[in-house]
Structure 1
Amino acid sequence: MYKLLSRWREGFSAQGRLQRARNWLEQEGRAPQGFALLGRLAQDGMVAAQYQVARAYLEGQGVPRSPTEGVRWMHRAATAGHAEACFAMALMLLVDPPDGRGGDGLLPTALPAGIECWPDPVAATGWAGRAATLGLPDAQALYGYLLACGPDSVRDVQAARLWCARAAQAGCPQGDLGLAVAHLAVEAPGTDPDAVAALNRAAESGLPTAQYMLGLLHERGWGMTRDTGQAALWYGRAAAQGVRPAQARYGALLLHDRADGPRNMLMAETWLRRAALGGDREAAALLGDLHARGEAAIPADHEAVAWYRMAARQDHALACRMLAVLYRQGRGVAADPELARQWLERAAELGDVTAMSDLAAPLLAGRAEQATTTPALVDFEPAAQAGDPVAIFNLAVSLHAGVGRPVDRAAAALWMERAARAGVVNAAYWHGRMLLEGDGVAADPARARQWLEQAAAQGLPEACLVAAQLRLEGRGGPRDHAGALALYHKAAAAGRAEAMFSLGALYGGGHDVTPDRSQALHWFMQGAVAGHALAQLMAGRYLARGLAGPVDRAQARHWLEQASAQGLDAARAECAQLAGG
């Protein structure tokens, strides 16, 4: 009898009526009645009922959905110190307003007290802190995360770790994830074993974000041995739960053989497509690469165009440049030079140094009339300041030639030296030339020769020619005719006619090289065929006089006439003498 009376009394208590309202709210036929009871309790000041009313409005349970009323009641309950309501306010303030600002989802013109804008991560941090202090583990994890990664005005890494640790101790997986994130916000990834252990616990508990992060640590070898097999395993788990970056990384790993299995092109493309269609621009660009290179399961140029365009529209610089290439070549789409130029310009605007170089090539070569873009568009300075070697070189050339900016030879010399020291072969050559000629920098033949020979060692024909001349003259260092001969051979092998002529002259005698007239004629003939006027003159002389074998007047006349046609008076005189003889 006592138990019966107790249950009867509880049914009329505030808590009893709250529980009855909740039960009715869950029953389809009685949900409106349940909401009505909740409303009366909320109006009477019951904070728990106010929270339930807010949820009912936000979810459309027992009452037409109204985000406006939902926010108002949630704010009221949170202000009264309801932990779950505080947590809900924090979560809502981290995302866009419910239903935007149109239709029946209009937020109040005057936002609740303390909310100046929406979303508002600073205000969200405040509400998360209230809920955390009230003992809600999920809120403690969120509060720790915001203290670690939120706006600068609320960041406190030490406090972040404390709150995340408290959430983790309460059995909240998000607390372990927060501990890892708090560590990653200030330390090199993987350097804290405790953070890695926390990330492992969060991943094992099924949190997809933790699984993705653990995949990154395994793939890149942060705090553990690099293991693409383990990376693929964790990426795969996160990908299956819809984590877009994990889908992209999983697809990328499946393109390559791994310790745990061979490449799987079809599966790789499947995951890359999911990520790309979900908005991942890196996945879209990678799909474009696969089709453009013919490496896709069923490669097609039109597919390359479609994927590159998807990434390019999200400002992926490389995709913009590759789209320009396809439009220029007419691959997968009708050739369109104008669209090719537009996409190349967009790539350059986004900082793609190769695109900048392509656009600037006519200008840097002194062919401004052939340029299809304005000099102002080609600005290498941001990429150069960031340390890109090619951009540094192109900036130096721009400053030297006055392309897109005033001529500044001194600044050009400084940037050229930086590019040379960064390993740009052309820059080593130009830096050597500038030192040799005192162009923007004090002349220094010794240093010039060092830089020119460094570029020559990398096979740059222009550098071989200048360095060889310095060795012949003994300028900037000792005379070295044998060394000059070797450099001329290297330049001649690259097709340089002037090197062929110089080889003929060296082998012809008068230098510190054993004379060999047959070799001299061979190289004079090579240079003559390549159109070098002096080589044509010398070939004519050798053949007319039989200096390296039998006389051949017909061939001699041919080469002397060729040299004469290029304006050599000596060839014209010898040709007349040959005809008179």
Structure 2
Amino acid sequence: MRKFLSGLLGGITPAARFRHACRLLEHEGRSAQGFALLGRLARGGMVVAQYQVARAYLDGSGVPRSPLEGVRWMHRAACAGHVEACFSLALMLLVDPPGHGGDHRGADGLLPMALPEGIDRWPDPEAATGWARQAAQAGLADAQALYGYLLATGPESVRDPQAARMWCERAARAGCPQGDLGLAVTHFSASDQLPGTDPDAVAALIRAADSGLPTAQYMLGLLHERGWGLSLDRTQAEQWYARAAVQGVRPAQARYGALLLEDTGSRPRNAMTAETWLRRAALAGDREAAALLGDLHARGEAALPGDHEAMIWYRRAAEQDHAVACRMLALLYMHGRGAAADPDQARHWLARAAELGDVAAMTDLAASLVAQGQEMHSVTGLPLPDFMSAAQAGDPVAAFNLAVCLHDGVGGVTDPVQAASWMERAAHAGVVNAEYWYGRMLLDGDGVAADAVHARLWLERAAEHGLAEACVAAAQLRLEGRGGPRDHAGALALYHRAARSGRADAMFSLGAMYGGGHDLPPDRAQALHWFTQGAEGGNALSQLMLGRYLARGLAGSVDRVRARYWLEQAAAGGVRAARDELDHMTRTDEHAPT
């Protein structure tokens, strides 16, 4: 009886209610109940519950996702001294605020943006440094590494190289790979020495790279490629770039793609794989990758070569002041490749390339001006290209570029309705990217009335031309039955086409479809294959599913070592369920008979 009463009394303590709420939150069918209980505890002042409420809002667990509410509760928990909340808030304050940077998921997209009380501006690296310091002083190794990094590379008002090294060393001694990376960055950011000249920094960087940190892997590849502090070894550089690339490091993707275009003694040139990685980097904003993609299309070496595609990629690079891309774009305009011949545009981009120091462009520009009997003049202060006249004259590529400019506000004018109108013209003229964009506009009601039926038609037309992004979007519509009948077999075929183009998200979708629950016979072996492909391509959800398959033997034998590796990769990519799987594996291993 005493044990029963003791258990009953223990079950109603706040700590017991908190544990019960956390268990409910993790239960798929009772997460809302768990969140409600956590909310009552948080409003009652339980700091650890406030932190869990913040995470629930940020993850959309048990409650509709709301980054703004998540930040508000995280700030409240941090102000109460919760160490992990202090660290999390520091990380948040270093990136775009909620609702910006392409993150519009959740109810916040319907509400006016307002910073939580106590936060004056965002991002705020100085405030982030203060929160990181609080967590670092409390002994959190990850926070010590972040604090050291900010002291080394943050705003001038917080920099302290000596203290940076001390905090990074403390984190490294605690076994935190980010501490080793911080040590390397601290050394390399010093203005009085060249990268790689400090053997301690190189050793720290190697430890961080071996621990799986993608930034360290990219930096190590750079040292090998340049011969800074390590042997000049392009094979080693390529291997390190590849490891960082699959984890989403943009410059590593660009450098890996560039090296794959070289014919080395150890392997032949691989233009197709190079194009995949260059495309990922270029779409993320890397100008060198965009210029190389332009070269592949212009030379006819891309998977689907075309001058209009060359022009699109050259323009991406040129608009980021890539001198050679400016000259190549001018040559396309000069010869009417990918667009109608346009001497004014050709001269504009030659002038920009010359201004950026391209010697060949200076020669071509001089010849162009002399041919028209004009004197050499200053080429500074030229306006952005005006696509309107060419678009009105019927040039479909100019219509597409005009639509993009009007949609994104390039040149200072944003007009979604006009953007949709010009995009439709370019789509009807057969510009593949315009077909995809116009389909997305119709799907989202962006500048035009939402129309899922016609959106599906345009997206499938772009998919037929091989555009991987269109294949993924069209497959999702077939899967959901939007804009037409459900067609799981057709979706499967589209995902296969996108996967062949290197889309890791399509590989994940293939794994999910073969795994069961769709209008297709399950094939666990195929599911394992595609989850493996997606995981190696850097898709975090594929890494989670591959870890689960290997841990549970869902498609064959159990391999807990590889399962743990891929779950760790998924957890590093922000998939919370992967951390839960790892914790479950750890508990299982601890209680396993020896």
Q: TM-score, normalised by structure 1?
A: 0.59
Output the CA distance in 1 between the equivalents of 2:7 and 2:174.
34
Output the CA distance in 1 between the equivalents of 2:113 and 2:282.
37
Return the structure number with greater relative CO, CA threshold 8 A, min gap 6: 2
Cα shift readout 1:241-269 (whole Å, capped 9, x = no counterpart): 22221111111112223353333233323
Output the CA distance in 2 between the equivalents of 1:108 and 1:298.
42
Partner of 1:415: none
Amino acid at match of 2:380: L
Give the Å deviation of 1:301.
Answer: 4.2
Q: Check if 1:340 corresponds to 2:346.
A: yes
Give the Å deviation of 1:321.
Answer: 1.6
- Report if the CA contact (8 A) 1:21-1:35 is conserved: yes
Partner of 2:117: 112
Partner of 1:60: 60
Output the CA distance in 1 between the equivalents of 2:346 and 2:265.
41
Output the CA distance in 2 between the equivalents of 1:68 and 1:332.
45
Partner of 1:33: 33
Cα shift readout 1:375-420 (whole Å, capped 9, x = no counterpart): 36399xxxxxxxxxxxxxxxxxxxxxxxxxxxxxxxxxxxxxxxxx
Partner of 2:196: 190
Cα shift readout 1:312-354 (whole Å, capped 9, x = no counterpart): 2333232112111221133444321111012223334545455
Output the CA distance in 1 between the equivalents of 2:297 and 2:308.
8
Cα shift readout 1:477-503 (whole Å, capped 9, x = no counterpart): xxxxxxxxxxxxxxxxxxxxxxxxxxx
Q: Check if 1:70 corresponds to 2:70.
A: yes
Partner of 2:557: none
Q: Percent identity?
A: 70
- Report if the CA contact (8 A) 1:348-1:378 is conserved: no
Give the Å deviation of 1:62.
Answer: 2.2
- Partner SS, residue 238 of structure 2: helix
Residue 5 to residue 223, structure 1, CA distance change in 2 (3 Å): farther
Amino acid at match of 2:178: Q
Cα shift readout 1:253-289 (whole Å, capped 9, x = no counterpart): 1222335333323332332233223332101112223
Partner of 1:80: 80
Cα shift readout 1:279-320 (whole Å, capped 9, x = no counterpart): 321011122234445666886544433321232233323211
Cα shift readout 1:10-55 (whole Å, capped 9, x = no counterpart): 3222211111111111123322222222222222221111111222
- Report if the CA contact (8 A) 1:57-1:65 is conserved: yes
- Partner SS, residue 377 of structure 1: coil
Give the Å deviation of 1:360.
Answer: 5.6
Amino acid at match of 1:79: C
Output the CA distance in 1 between the equivalents of 2:139 and 2:161.
20
Query: Pairwise mapping of residues 316-465 of structure 1 onto structure 2 (< 5 A)?
Result: 316-350=322-356, 352=358, 354-356=360-362, 358-359=364-365, 370-371=374-375, 374-375=377-378, 377=380
Give the Å deviation of 1:7.
Answer: 3.7
Counterpart of 2:129 (choices 125, 130, 144) is 125
Cα shift readout 1:200-235 (whole Å, capped 9, x = no counterpart): 111111111111111101111010110001001111
Give the Å deviation of 1:358.
Answer: 4.7
- Partner SS, residue 329 of structure 2: helix
- Report if the CA contact (8 A) 2:136-2:143 is conserved: yes
Give the Å deviation of 1:94.
Answer: 0.9
Partner of 2:141: 137
- Report if the CA contact (8 A) 2:290-2:314 is conserved: yes
Counterpart of 1:249 (choices 255, 277, 284) is 255
CA RMSD after TM alignment: 2.9
Amino acid at match of 1:73: W
Between Structure 1 and Structure 2, whose CA radius of gyration is higher?
Answer: 1
- Report if the CA contact (8 A) 2:126-2:158 is conserved: yes
Output the CA distance in 2 between the equivalents of 1:332 and 1:27.
55
Output the CA distance in 2 between the equivalents of 1:298 and 1:376.
36
- Report if the CA contact (8 A) 1:68-1:107 is conserved: no
Amino acid at match of 1:377: T
- Partner SS, residue 28 of structure 1: coil
Partner of 2:278: 272
Give the Å deviation of 1:81.
Answer: 0.8
Cα shift readout 1:521-548 (whole Å, capped 9, x = no counterpart): xxxxxxxxxxxxxxxxxxxxxxxxxxxx
Output the CA distance in 2 between the equivalents of 1:174 and 1:89.
18
- Report if the CA contact (8 A) 1:177-1:210 is conserved: yes
Residue 378 to residue 32, structure 1, CA distance change in 2 (3 Å): closer
- Report if the CA contact (8 A) 2:141-2:174 is conserved: yes
Partner of 2:176: 172
Cα shift readout 1:63-115 (whole Å, capped 9, x = no counterpart): 233333222211111011101110111111111111239863557746422x3
Counterpart of 1:150 (choices 149, 154, 165) is 154
Q: TM-score, normalised by structure 2?
A: 0.58
Amino acid at match of 1:261: R
Partner of 2:16: 16
Amino acid at match of 2:255: R
Output the CA distance in 2 between the equivalents of 1:210 and 1:88.
22
- Report if the CA contact (8 A) 2:347-2:368 is conserved: no
Amino acid at match of 2:167: W
Partner of 1:90: 90
Matched pairs, number: 375
Residue 333 to residue 67, structure 1, CA distance change in 2 (3 Å): closer
Residue 176 to residue 40, structure 1, CA distance change in 2 (3 Å): same
Residue 3 to residue 355, structure 1, CA distance change in 2 (3 Å): farther
Amino acid at match of 2:322: H
- Partner SS, residue 155 of structure 1: coil
- Report if the CA contact (8 A) 2:223-2:230 is conserved: yes
Give the Å deviation of 1:374.
Answer: 4.5
Output the CA distance in 1 between the equivalents of 2:57 and 2:164.
33
Give the Å deviation of 1:190.
Answer: 0.9
Residue 278 to residue 20, structure 1, CA distance change in 2 (3 Å): same
Residue 169 to residue 3, structure 1, CA distance change in 2 (3 Å): farther
Residue 136 to residue 292, structure 1, CA distance change in 2 (3 Å): same
> What residue ranges of structure 1 are gaps of 5+ in the alignment?
380-581
> What residue ranges of structure 2 are gaps of 5+ in the alignment?
383-594
